[in-house]
Amino acid sequence: MDYLKGLNPAQQAAVMQTEGPVMIIAGAGSGKTRVITMRVAHLVASGVDAFNILVLTFTNKAAREMRERIMHAVGAEAKNVWMGTFHSVFAKILRVEADKLGYPNNFTIYDTDDSKSVLRAILKEMNLDDKLYQPNFVYNRISAAKNNLISWQEYQQNDQIQADDFSSGRGQLGKIYETYATRCYRAGAMDFDDLLFKTNELLKRYPDVLYKYQNKFKYLMVDEYQDTNFSQYLIVKKLAAINENICVVGDDAQSIYAFRGANIQNILNFEKDYPDLKIFKLEQNYRSTQNIVNVANSIIANNQEQLKKNVFSEKEEGDKIKVMRAFSDNEEGKIVAEGILQERSTKGMKWHDFAILYRTNAQSRSMEEALRKLNIPYKIYGGLSFYQRKEIKDLIAYFRLTINPNDEEAMKRVINYPKRGIGDTSVDRIILAADQNMITPWEVIVNPSKYIDGRSSAQVSVFATMIQAFAVITKNQSAYDAALHIAQHSGLLKDLYEDKSVEGLNRYENIQELLNGIKEFSEREDIEDKSLAVFMQDVALLTNDDKDNKPDADTVSLMTIHSAKGLEFPHVFVVGLEENLFPSQMSLNSRTDLEEERRLFYVAVTRAESKLTISYATSRFKFGTLISCEPSRFLDEIDARYLELDFTAKPAPSSSSFFDDERNAWSKRGDTFSKPRPATTAPVKTTSILAKAHVPSAGFAPSDTSNLQVGMEVEHERFGFGKVISLEGNKPDIKATIFFKEIGQKQLLLKFAKLRIVM
């Protein structure tokens, strides 16, 4: 029982409750991972067979860390726990049961790029406008349908869906979905959404399979339960139906992935599914200072939908949270960069102790420019990952085709790379012949003379023979030996080696790095099957957190708040706290969306360990135009006792000539951004960030604006009094450009603006 030492009473109680339904509400920094791992260790130590325990996570990294901790606590038995991401665990089950659904056991897993490539080909074949049917939009539409367990047949039969599609001019979406599903099935491929969709289908169509896994997984644990979607929720509910030994762990205050299907109601309503539920709350934050925790609590208290908890910290009170007002987005970048430089030099910190978090990727520009001017090393997270580089995807496509020759996307990628005289026309003929004869493209490739005319037939035959030879090698050799053979004999390694440019050398080194990774995999003692097929399964299921395989360098971290979830840093800068940016403009018309934005701010704040700085700009360039900005409403929700306000940068004047004047001033500034800022004055203390916020007139009530005209004077609840400058668009989407006396010019959508007409 040594593994229970060091747990606080709440953590220990959650670990010891092994039977029946359990929900652990884990506040930020409350030791959630430790509780999950110790609970699994306690189950094993109590005599539960590790084979009967299933632990579902959202990243492979989290699963690896948990397994290592469990092994440290109870030994090698931990290897037998079924632990991994939803996708990796259910891919493992599907490989065993795939034949029931008509798939090969070696099915390919398509990543997002593969799926969009298939969709682009379908749109081209159907002669559809790719501006109306944008591949990203179509992909997201199909993904949303699958996550809600809507098959292509149900999609086409749903009157409401069809009405929405036709009213938007996208009446072919149902047909695209059908063609995409058929194309993937023919290629022996599943996309990421299919791994959940097909698991649900398997458990629904085959009661014996459901019963088999219900009895196998006698104990279930789900991490980050607030991030589950409907498809994941249903699988977990089905698997737990017999034993009901299910434990979910999460924090509703950190539910920030609705845009990709996560449903916060899964955790909010968990008790309705299990009336005998036992609830444990982990409320002690071990990460952040008291002031940071207090700020986070004051923010999230404004949400109506939440599971109440009292998060506290026993660490030192810490610095107050500094709120900085900048003149512009470039000025914001400048004061953040200088703040990092000063903190590092005066407190002996490392660059990697700092993180800059923002709502959108576009905000990184001003931060990057400022950091470069001060020679501060930085790294942007969420960029191109190692496995998304072209040369890596090329070699992996060879691996995929060797393992599953029906993989059409892999075939199209490598059949003429390196060049072997099989051009686009020949590839089109292969695919056309496959469609006409109701066979796979691979069946055409292995019998080219039967289906393809012309001299390309010989080259196609040579290609087929090469892939078949690779398949023999792959079955008889380790992953590394097979991978090296394919890299060499495909001609890919030679092609990259002969490119002596800097880019060519980098690409060659990247291939070497991939082969090094495969060699490490082949030498691991904890894996019995060291084949290339198993390695490829691991690669296909990598999450974003796993794909950057380079060690952490001493650099400042730049990332969106979504990317920062699960991370922590000594000093965090949260930038761009402005209305229409954070919260985003799209969230302002829905309480549900606004509450998710507030949870996103809560996540940003709770990434900080010892110091937190928040900033906003009073003007910002948007689409080449300088616009006036107002502070985010979220700033007003923070208890002023915990704030230190730095308002040394002058706010944007409320004059119509401001933008022209500032363009002129900026053109004359030269290198002023690289010069030291003047010494800051004593911070201003006030009970509100918006000290001059407009107070609505007594009895304020929005008017009927259907007959609003240019020149009329109006009042807005937050922006104050203004005059209508112009109106554009048609009902019901008329936009009004209004010049407000206090904040300058803004454009508002009338149906949402809630204006009072003064005269």
pLDDT digits (tens, 9 = 90+) for 629-662: 889 999 988 988 888 887 665 444 433 333 333 3
Q: Which of 320, 400, 429, 607 is catalytic?
A: 607
607 included as an active-site residue: yes
Q: Could you give the angle at the alpha carbon of 240 between the alpha carbons of 236 and 245, nearest 5°?
A: 120
State whether residue 723 is helix, strand or coil.
strand
692 assigned binding-site residue = no
Query: What does the pLDDT average to over 119-141?
Result: 90
Looking at the chain, the whole-number percentage of residues with pLDDT higher than 70 is 90
Amino acid at 463: F
Q: Could you give the angle at the alpha carbon of 57 between the alpha carbons of 200 and 117, nearest 5°?
A: 60
Residues 6+ apart with CB under 8 A from 216: 51, 52
- Asked if residue 113 lies in contact with residue 392, where contact means CB atoms within 8 angstroms, the answer is no
Check residue 119 and give its pLDDT.
Answer: 94
Give per-residue pLDDT as tens, 311-365. Answer: 999 889 999 999 998 888 888 999 999 999 999 988 889 999 999 999 988 788 8
Structure confidence at residue 151 as a pLDDT band (50, 70, 90): very high
**In whole angstroms, what is the distance from residue 324 CA to residue 618 CA?**
11
Q: Which of 57, 85, 172, 254 is catalytic?
A: 254
- Asked if residue 662 lies in contact with residue 688, where contact means CB atoms within 8 angstroms, the answer is no
33 included as an active-site residue: yes
Check residue 682 and give its pLDDT.
Answer: 32
Check residue 372 and give its pLDDT.
Answer: 87
Structure confidence at residue 488 as a pLDDT band (50, 70, 90): very high
Q: Which of 97, 191, 193, 223 is catalytic?
A: 223
Check residue 544 and give its pLDDT.
Answer: 57
**In whole angstroms, what is the distance from residue 172 CA to residue 181 CA?**
14
26 assigned binding-site residue = yes
32 included as an active-site residue: yes
517 assigned binding-site residue = no
375: phi > 0 → left, psi -120 to 50 → alpha, else beta; which? left
Check residue 624 and give its pLDDT.
Answer: 58
- Asked if residue 649 lies in contact with residue 327, where contact means CB atoms within 8 angstroms, the answer is yes
- What is the token pair recorded at 313? 């910290």
Amino acid at 409: E
174 assigned binding-site residue = no
Query: HSE-up of 585 (CA within 13 Å, CB side)?
Result: 9
31 assigned binding-site residue = yes
Q: Which of 12, 18, 33, 162 is catalytic?
A: 33
**In whole angstroms, what is the distance from residue 501 CA to residue 507 CA?**
10
Question: Sign of the CA dihedral 232, 88, 104, 449?
Answer: positive
Amino acid at 429: R
Check residue 243 and give its pLDDT.
Answer: 92
Give per-residue pLDDT as tens, 56-78. Answer: 998 888 888 888 888 887 787 87
332 included as an active-site residue: no
Check residue 669 and give its pLDDT.
Answer: 32
- What is the token pair recorded at 132? 């109306």
**In whole angstroms, what is the distance from residue 729 CA to residue 586 CA?**
19
Looking at the chain, the whole-number percentage of residues with pLDDT higher than 90 is 49
Residue 46 burial (CB count, 10 A): 9
606 assigned binding-site residue = no
Residue 494 burial (CB count, 10 A): 12
DSSP 676: P
Give per-residue pLDDT as tens, 188-220. Answer: 999 999 999 999 999 999 999 999 999 999 999
**In whole angstroms, what is the distance from residue 81 CA to residue 483 CA?**
30
Between strands 643-646 and 321-326, the pairing is parallel
Helix-strand-coil percent breakdown of the chain, rounded to 5? Answer: 50, 15, 35
**In whole angstroms, what is the distance from residue 148 CA to residue 722 CA?**
45
**In whole angstroms, what is the distance from residue 743 CA to residue 578 CA?**
13
28 assigned binding-site residue = yes
C-alpha to C-alpha distances, 126 to 121, 143, 244, nearest whole angstrom: 9, 20, 48
Structure confidence at residue 677 as a pLDDT band (50, 70, 90): very low
Structure confidence at residue 680 as a pLDDT band (50, 70, 90): very low
State whether residue 677 is helix, strand or coil.
coil
